[in-house]
Structure formats: C-alpha cells, structure tokens
Structure 1
Amino acid sequence: MRKHIYLIGICGTAMASLAGMLKQQDHEVTGSDAAAYPPMSDLLRELGISVHEPYAERNLDRRPDLVIIGNAISRGNVELERVLDERIPFCSMASILHDEFLQGRESLVVAGTHGKTTTTSMLAWIYQIASVHDASLAPSFLIGGVAENFGTSFMVRPTKPFILEGDEYDTAFFDKGPKFLHYFPDAAILTHVEFDHADIYTDLEAVKTAFKRFVNLVPRRGRVVAFDGSENVTECVSKAFCKVERYGFQEGSHWRMTDLRHDGPLTQWTLWRGGERFAELSLPMAGEHNALNATAAAALASGQGVPVEAIVEALRTFHSVKRRLEVKAVAEGVTIIDDFAHHPTAIRETLRALRESHPGQRLIAVLEPRSNTLRRNVFEDALIESLALADRVVLAGVFKSENIPAAERLDPERVVHGLTERGIPATVYQDADAITAALAPEVRNGDIVAILSNGGFGGIYEKLPRAITEKAIASRMAERFA
C-alpha cells in the first residue's frame, strides 16, 4: 500500500539513500533537515524528493503515515516533539531497512571504523560486473556515499544479494545500539576497529563490544572476512561461530597481499588465497588502504561464488566514491581535493595516498574539526601526528564549539603548536571565508590542497578555486596595465 513517509534528517547519507529506496517502491517521500549540501542534496533533488529547511512544526501539517527519525535527531527537535505529541507512527532507518528490504535476501554487510563506504562500493561493483554473465548476482545496495560507478548510493532489485554499509553509530534517540545490529549479515567484512564516536562510546572497550555483537550475528554457515593487521579486530572475531578469513599482508593469512606497488594513481598487487596465487589485481586509486579495501571486497565476493574474472575486471574499472580523494577543481594549476576523512587514522591514510599519487608536489591539508569525535580533544596528539604528513596545514575553528564542554573540546591552537614544533607551517582561521582569503594568494601552480571534512565546510570547495582564479586574473590584469 502506498504511504506518505516523512524523514526527519533526510540529508544524512544513509537517510537520503533510504528516501530514494522508498520512493522506488512508489511511496510518497518527503522530509526535512537543518541544512542540505552535496552530494545528498543533489541526489534528493534528482529524485524529486521535497526537502523542508529548516525544521519546523508546520512541516508536519499534512500528517504523514509514517515518520523515520534520523539518528542525528534528539529530543527537543520541534518536529520530533510534534510526532511524539500527536503519536504519529515512527521508526528508525535501520529498522525499516530490515523490515522492508532485507527479509528473504542475502545480507552482505561491510563494517569497521574505516573504509566502510569505499569497500561497500567496491563489493557492489564486483557483483554488478559479475551480473553481466549471471543475472542472479545483480546487487541491491545501500552505501553511505555516492558510488561513482553507479552514480547513486542505493539500488533495489528483486535478486538475492543486498550489500550494506554497516554503521556502528547509534540508531535513533530511542535505540542507542549500533545500526548494524539490525542487518543480520549472512557474510560480513570487518576492516578496522578503533576508538571513534566519542559522543556515544565511552572508550575503546565499548567500541569493541559493539563489533563483537555484530560478529555474533553471523550464522554458522556464514563467513567473516577480517583485517589481519589489528589486534582489536583479532579480539572481535575470536569467538565467531562462523568461518573467519583474515586478509592483509601477514604470512599465514588466508588472503595475503604481496608485491604492492604504486604508479601515480594506479595501485597493483598480487593476491594469494590459502597459499595459492588468486589474481594479479590493479586499482585506479592511490593508497595502501584502498588496496586493502579492494582485497576485502574481493575476498568476500569470491567466497560467495563470484568468479575471479569479474573481481579483476571490477577493481580495474572502479571509480571510487564521491568525497573520497575526489578532485573538486583545478584552478591555476592548483588541485583541490575533497576527502571525507575525519579521524586521525583516516586523515593519515588520505595524506599518505596523496603523497604516493603526487610525488614531489607541495601538499596542503585544510581540516575542519566537525565530527563529534574530532571536535573533542581525545585525538589531539594523534591528529598532530597525522597532519604532520602535509607540507602546510590550515585548521578551521571547531564546528559548533559551544556544544562541546570546554574541558573536552579540541584546541586547534595546540594542534598548530604541535605541528610548528615539527617544522610544519600551520595556522588556524575561524571559518571557510577566512581560510579562502588567506590561502588563495599563497597557493601556487602544482600545489595539492586536500580539504578534509565530513560536512559542507561553509562552501569552501567552491569558494577556494573561485578565489584562486580571481586572484590570478587580477594579477595578470595588473601586469598587463603596469
């Protein structure tokens, strides 16, 4: 039966994708958010889904049949309060996903602190390539970003495989458990386990407990493909009831990588399975972390019956995910790159990948401390170490710093001090406009500017290249008429 379904917090990556899935089932879908920004705002616009900004009680005057509450929505939100007052039926994103889309399918879930989105996209593309010769492998998927090979973050098909990004963040204000506990995987990937989401997890032990519970959902007939380079991952899979296959660089791992080599943006390696050569793989992406992500996807797909030829071809033609090392602009020879990295480990791997793909070029890191973890001081020292891989660092002020107690808040000046002690020029500017004004005259032909944020960052992705171009034009005009 067709329903009017309303999503509060619709511009979140998973929520926007769910909105598209529901519309694909012929429901009327609308929603609201505090602020919309690409790529999800673009996706919703293309889908013809109406988005109300900002939150307001009147947005619910035309009472929906069902409201889906995003996990970023807390008590006090005016729309949530009206839903509760009027007892409008509501649920979480994860629960409707399980009830409406996963029943009777093969649930393949990618989980871990880092690499989930890219690995999920790779796995979906592997299945898509395989479906050319076996239509039953055509995947449904839900990804926390726009997969460039598909041009979308979701797909719903009548076939069995459903590939999901398993998020360890909480589900909703009324369900504080991780979303991935709703997905009941038939097989799973576990990439990394590190402390993150300091707003909901008290410490690393709490994070590990969540992942142990995730692993415990995999049935005996299932399989977990787990990274071999993390003691935390080893602990989390140690009591699995299903088969566990490790992947990475260690001798003895079921899926072992050797002869890893980089050639600009191209990465190549040999993959071994159970001590026998499985394939020579190539990936048009820089970074050891991306080769590891690809190996995990290859391992899971192979174990589910996907032919090796499809795996090799899919990785060779993989086009990444929006906001993962995405080139946003090239202005006057300056390359502006957008990356979603918002954890010290992810920042380190992103900068390492850029070093590998752009050797000899000056690397400038521009960071917005925006995530709930990065806005806190728990990672200050680790952040300094990660950012020290850049030649120049620019920090924005802490996003909505007033919401973080002063004693817990990240101190950007301390980060700058730590970097300058290591000989890395570093500066703090309050916002995107101040950063743009300071950086546009400073950059030069050949520079790589990596903008690191999990949000819109005040439109800096458009403002900076425009300012660089305008400065260059003004300089040429001044020279011409001097």
Structure 2
Amino acid sequence: MQGGKHIHLIGICGTAMASLAGMLQAVGHRVTGSDNAAYPPMSEQLAAMKIPVYEPYREANLEPRPDLVVVGNAISRGNAELEYVLDQRIPFCSMAAILHDEFLLGREPLVVAGTHGKTTTTSMLAWIYEVASRTNPELAPSFLIGGVAENFGTSFMVRDTHPFLIEGDEYDTAFFDKGPKFLHYFPDAAILTHVEFDHADIYADLPAVKTAFKRLVNLIPRRGRLVAFDGSENVTECVAKAFCTVERYGFAVDSHWRVSGMRHDATGTHWEIARAGEPFASMTLPMPGEHNALNATAAAALAAGQGVPVAAIVEAIASFRSVKRRLEVRAEVGGITVIDDFAHHPTAIRETLRALRSAYPGRRLWAVLEPRSNTLRRNVFEDALVESLALADEVVLAAVYQSGNIPEAERLVPETVAARLHGQGTPAEVHEDAAAIVAAIAPRLLSGDVVAILSNGGFGGIYRLLPEALESR
C-alpha cells in the first residue's frame, strides 16, 4: 500500500498488534485501534506513539470508515467491530499477512521460533545486529518482537536495510486463518529453540504442534540455515527433513555450537562456545539462568552464520538488558524483591524459578501465579505445573482467569494444585484475585524474600498493589 491510508487494528493491545501499529505509522499510515482492556507495556507504547485506542469494541470505532482493518487473532465472530466489517465489506486482513506484504518482501527475514525463549532470543539477535551496525550500517536491523526489548525501549523497528528479525509465533493467525502466524514469514534463516505441547486451545496434541514446526522448517530455502536446540527429541524430529543446512546448539559433544563451562556469579552467567569443534567465543550475559545462556548461544550462532563479527556478538550479549516482563525487577521494598515474569507454560515457570534460585541463592522464593494463558488454564498441564511450582518455597495461586471460557472437564483447579504441592511439602494457598493475594501475603513477607509474579496478563494490577502494600507497612 501507498502511505497515508487509514488502517484500524481490532485487538491493538496484543504485543504483536501494537508493534504492527507502530510499524504502519512509521511508514506513513494513519493508525487507529480498539481493544477491550489495555495494560502495560503495550498500552504505554501506543500512548507514547499517540495512536488512538478505543475501548470497548463498538461499531462507532470504525467511523470514519478505514481503508483497511487488521483483525487480531484473539478476535472471533460476534465481536461488534468484526461483524460491522463483514456487513459493510470493509477490506480486512490478518497481522501476519500485512506484515509479510508490507515489510518482509524484498528483505532478509530471520525468524526465531519455538515453544519457549523466542521473545528473549529475538531481542538478543536484534541487539547483536544493532551493535554490529555501528561499524557496518548495512546490518542495522528492522525487527518485530513479542515484548519490549530494554536495549531499544520498543518492540519494533523499521529501517531501509535488508535484515528483518521477527519472532515467529506458532499461535493461529486469525478467525479466518487457523494456521500459525510464522507460516507467513518465509525465513531465509531461522532458530528453533524448543518444541513442546502448548496452546491446548488450538492444538489437539503434541504431534499437531510438531506438524506446525515441521511446516516452518519446510519453508526455509536450500541456501538458508536453521539453528536448532540439541537437547530436545521433538526438535530433532522437526528438523530431520530440512532441505537447508541445520546447525545444532547446546551441550551435546557433537553439536556444531557447543556450550561448555557454564557458571553463575553476581555479575551474571558465563560460558564458552565452540564452533565446529574450534573455540568461538567466551560469553558473559548479565542475566541469570541456563535457559538465557542457551538463548544467547542461539542468537550468536545465527548472527555469526549470517556474517556478523564475533566481537560484536560478544559485546552485544555482555550489554544485553533483557525484555520487559522477563525476570523484570518491578520493585525492591524493605529488602523484598518483586519480580515480574511472563509465565505462559509450566516449562517457562520452571526455568524462571531455576534462574531466580541461581540469582538469589539462599533467599526465600515465592511463586505467585495467575493461571491466565490458554495453556495454564487447562488441567492437561497440571502434573507439569505442580512439578515446576515445587521449585519455590511458597506458592500462591489466583483463580483461573475467565474460567467460564474453559469447559469444566478441561479446566485447571487451583485448589487441586495447591493440595498436591502441600502433599509434597511445599506450602501453597489459593486466593480469588490480586487484591486478596496482596492482603494475604504482604504482612508475611520478610526482608530477603523474592516474589516472582507469574502471569501473561495484567493480573489485576498486582505489580502495583503489592509494592504499595509493602511501602505502607
């Protein structure tokens, strides 16, 4: 499209949709949007860009009539604006489709995919390219990330250069396109971090998830590259029939990118990388967690294979500042540290708690969980959730978010999770909402405690309520 069109985004406060809104505005379009509930960090990013966000959904939000409507993947039939778009025959498309047509054609798409780690890994990759562009401006990246990268202060960037780095989401595309978003991106090269059963609302089982990733792998051209984790049989299966070069990364002795000598201290995580059996780099990352070191290794491997100098890679990882809502310290009050983490899956919770154990050794660790994602709201993941939460010293669960949207037979029962944790020796309790949780735990928190708040949403404002309660003690 030529610049200057009026484009309206239904569901604009989703991470990818808010990023797309900024990208469209950056190339000259007039952008508006609507949502049911806006919350940080994307609401703040949209406000900073002065993009109007209308709440709630209603037909009047589409007057004057836009030239094009982008329908978010959370929007389904019955939505007032979507019904008006269909009735009035206003042109519409998905986020992934317009991203491909307007921004990826003619560029070098580098896609980061996987059940876990893709937001952090994409942010690391973007920062590597940014550091490298100081000596080679042609490497300055455009990117779209499913979170706000702290080094940039934004989740997107649009430039005239060739590299375009994008987080490849396996979730479905729109109500009219039930395939994964990443099948629209046609990568020149890609990273595959992990493959696990997730998104039980749209995938029937693990084989269905693996089929989606196999289709992504099948889109990479013969001249392309795929950097794939070596510690997962599911990943091995998904990359087995790739036509491109496949380079594995991880701890295996025979991996192309081998990690060794990992150690943690107060400054972060340190390790060595060997490339095809030869020393490649000594790495330092100012973040805790084995999983973050593996994410950094994947980003380093893809960048190096695309010609980014080793020195730029090492400098970028050493100066990486994380992503908002990934192990983000939200407050420190009276010696109590409040952490915000975007928990969406039991494995992500496990790795977050393991990372916090290494970062805060000897301190009492609280896990405060809102079962909000479509994965965590379902009892099919109960066993894995109990196992992950048992890594904490104290566990607090909220009620299942919008529980009525999950069939009762499939719905997670937080009281059952708490009872199972109690049976294993981990104190656990359930409270209805954020206010009740704060009232229950704020008087009991002690100096030295670390509180990990785990949710992929706003969690009733608990990130503000808990520090306020601690301040007022």
Contiguous gaps of at least 5 residues in structure 2: none
1:180 maps to a residue whose letter is F
- Structure 1 outlier segments of 4+, above 2 Å: none
State how far apart, in whole Å, the 1-side matches of 2:386 and 2:115 are: 20
State how far apart, in whole Å, the 2-side matches of 1:264 and 1:380 are: 34
Deviation at 1:265, TM superposition (A): 5.2
Deviation at 1:285, TM superposition (A): 0.4
Aligned pairs for 1:60-459 within 5 A = 60-264=62-266, 266-459=268-461
Q: Which moved more, 1:295-304 or 1:256-265?
A: 256-265
State how far apart, in whole Å, the 2-side matches of 1:30 and 1:281 are: 43
Deviation at 1:33, TM superposition (A): 0.4
Which residue does the alignment assign to 2:61?
59
Contiguous gaps of at least 5 residues in structure 1: 472-482
Per the alignment, do residues 360 and 222 of structure 1 end up closer, same or farther by CA in structure 2, a change over 3 Å counting?
same
Which residue does the alignment assign to 1:476?
none
2:316 maps to a residue whose letter is A
Write out per-residue CA displacement over residues 18-58 of structure 1, whole angstroms, 9 at most, x where no aligned residue: 00000001110000000000000000000000000111111
2:327 maps to a residue whose letter is L
State how far apart, in whole Å, the 2-side matches of 1:441 and 1:107 are: 50
State how far apart, in whole Å, the 2-side matches of 1:55 and 1:428 are: 33
State how far apart, in whole Å, the 1-side matches of 2:380 and 2:267 are: 33
Deviation at 1:292, TM superposition (A): 0.2
Query: What TM-score results when the alignment is normalised by the length of structure 1?
Result: 0.97
State how far apart, in whole Å, the 2-side matches of 1:351 and 1:265 are: 18
State how far apart, in whole Å, the 2-side matches of 1:186 and 1:465 are: 45
Matched-pair contact (CA < 8 Å) for 1:138–1:159: yes
State how far apart, in whole Å, the 1-side matches of 2:267 and 2:423 are: 32
State how far apart, in whole Å, the 2-side matches of 1:68 and 1:265 are: 44
Write out per-residue CA displacement over residues 297-322 of structure 1, whole angstroms, 9 at most, x where no aligned residue: 00000000000000000000000000
State how far apart, in whole Å, the 2-side matches of 1:34 and 1:95 are: 23
- Pick one of 455, 459, 462 that aligns with 1:460: 462
Write out per-residue CA displacement over residues 324-349 of structure 1, whole angstroms, 9 at most, x where no aligned residue: 00000111211100000220000000
2:170 maps to a residue whose letter is E
1:242 maps to a residue whose letter is C
State how far apart, in whole Å, the 2-side matches of 1:338 and 1:10 are: 23
Matched-pair contact (CA < 8 Å) for 1:264–1:356: no
Write out per-residue CA displacement over residues 68-109 of structure 1, whole angstroms, 9 at most, x where no aligned residue: 000000000010000000000000000000000001100000
Deviation at 1:60, TM superposition (A): 1.1
State how far apart, in whole Å, the 2-side matches of 1:91 and 1:134 are: 36
1:189 maps to a residue whose letter is I
State how far apart, in whole Å, the 2-side matches of 1:436 and 1:342 are: 21
**3-state SS of 1:141 partner:** strand
**3-state SS of 1:407 partner:** helix
Query: What TM-score results when the alignment is normalised by the length of structure 2?
Result: 0.99
State how far apart, in whole Å, the 2-side matches of 1:310 and 1:179 are: 31
1:22 maps to a residue whose letter is L
Per the alignment, do residues 80 and 420 of structure 1 end up closer, same or farther by CA in structure 2, a change over 3 Å counting?
same
Matched-pair contact (CA < 8 Å) for 1:105–1:162: yes
**3-state SS of 1:68 partner:** strand
Q: Which moved more, 1:50-59 or 1:199-208?
A: 50-59
> How big is the alpha-carbon RMSD for the aligned residues of Structure 1 and Structure 2?
0.5
Write out per-residue CA displacement over residues 442-472 of structure 1, whole angstroms, 9 at most, x where no aligned residue: 101110000000000000000001011112x
Write out per-residue CA displacement over residues 375-410 of structure 1, whole angstroms, 9 at most, x where no aligned residue: 010100110000000000000000000111110000
State how far apart, in whole Å, the 1-side matches of 2:326 and 2:407 are: 31
Q: Give the number of equivalent residue pairs.
A: 471
State how far apart, in whole Å, the 1-side matches of 2:350 and 2:20 are: 31
State how far apart, in whole Å, the 1-side matches of 2:316 and 2:406 are: 43
